Structure 1
């Protein structure tokens, strides 16, 4: 098995080296179609051109490869083919960043965090802006693939429910601008495509919608408030451990608690606050209303503060309710006499 794995790894290394060599050769010859086939084979097979992983010949944002640097030089000469090509290279860098962010949990535990989520968002935003600028340059020269990449994603995003995938107002404007230049013979387009794009909701529209909802939040249903918390959390950023829109989110949590006795909101409020008194208040409130996570936390808190009998009762209820932490905490109390998440009267 070990020999087979080594053979497979060697085979992949040879294949990757061949991809890199073919890619560089075509770029050096300024052969656009050859480079497209060699560097982005998935693109011509109607698959994502960016999921190349370690096989990508373009390196990263921080350390672009020789192929990437050459592609940029060709784009800067003004050839619309390579302007589009360079935008694809930048997109591959963005995909690599996303993969790094997803896979960095292990590196964080080792003290090697590459960048925080907020840093990633800032870098990705800058990268997306560059991608768009290069595609616009190619589209202005009539490059059909570039035009398609500016128009079609805006149209297809209108069917996606996730606000994260909504186009920006600028992306929507570019789609409408270049739509007349899109060769309809190359795409199956609905007759009313322009009207459909005009009606696409943008991220800015969603933000205004959220603000309007916040102003009338007291009249929203429980499900509408829950959705509003999800939307607010999705677009928030952090400064330290504090959300940028914490005051708005806290207000919605409080409405869920006050109007609907929503224990999930109480636990979320407790987990996200920086004040211990507030955390204890809402964990106790939710535990008394049989929220399983809150019962585990509050039970451990009571044991941590020498109220073992009452704490054990909460932990046993949490175990019966199906909280996965409760049996572990009960075992620790049985074996050690305390829970290992207890430190100086507080639960971590």
Structure 2
């Protein structure tokens, strides 16, 4: 097919006019994020991830560039490829990508360079070849201009942006140094928040570079802390908000750092609450409420803070009510002492609790122990540590045995008295345990009476034990019937 020179010239002029190298660079920058999204989606699948990095990501960006940039010459595609390589390296370093990410970079860049070229018609291909042999009378930028002008343009824009960002960043430090409290929050958060309350109540994750990190604070952050330590309430509140909102994401990799951070945050929480900062006051009260049982000092602190909150906003009255009903460690200790001194008046479950406290040094309580309107089944079970009193546990067991006819308690008293008390009291509780349904108590009574040569009584108790399916009693019964000796009766003492 033959084309007229005029026709080729028009096709070439159209190519030159439609080519937009600067727009192409911006397209690369903008399309980089959606292309990365595809890579992240298939990250867990190695083969798909490799294909996405090498081919799919640059291909997506190339098609965007082809549509918006309309680039036809190789020189025009060099700048955008350089920008792509920069973004590729930057993201790899920022995300701590594996070595493979950097090794395949040349292939990925080559894919972008190839696909970003606009698809040409046959006449446009001939027009380019004709221009190379015999240039048209059309003004076309040199390859040097095509490469460096877009790069200079993007560099200028980036420089202006950095300059404006730096100026805006420096205003934060200037406001702190000049003590301009009315605009510190706005300038340090780049006009995102105007008040400390708004800053604290931010729903999204807050990323503010003005304060650095807990390990590496900026000059602004260190100056704020210095002013906070000098006793200025505004800076005390601001520093606590920084700790809570900006520095909260302490990595769990360093336990020692996490401990230092949380001690610091707790310290400034108390100070911010005492200075009247509403969010800190609410958090402090809720923290005390969750730590029940608490100390009397903490309870009084919660009440004081709740009263201050009500003065600011009456809707916080419920916090005052809850603070008044807080259970302190002293309240629980007083309850424990009262119950320990009045065992006869206690219910069976309460006696079990006191017995556990005497034996193990842990006393449990329910909210219903202090508020009759709380259902015990829904009350939170909590505990305090008390002094163990093993020698007094027998008093609890005796009441459980006598008042509540508990066989296990009777048997426990028998075991505790064995070898320490006269045989009459020992057998009294063993007999009571048997009468209350303790199977092994029947067997032991049979042994006891056989050792005393009371064969009839022995067989009576052993028969009851056998009726209750105690297999050990069968063997003993046969020996009693045949008057054979048993180990429990050897010597001067009966071994039960």
- Normalising to structure 2: TM-score of the pair? 0.31
Which of structures 1 and 2 has the bigger CA Rg?
2
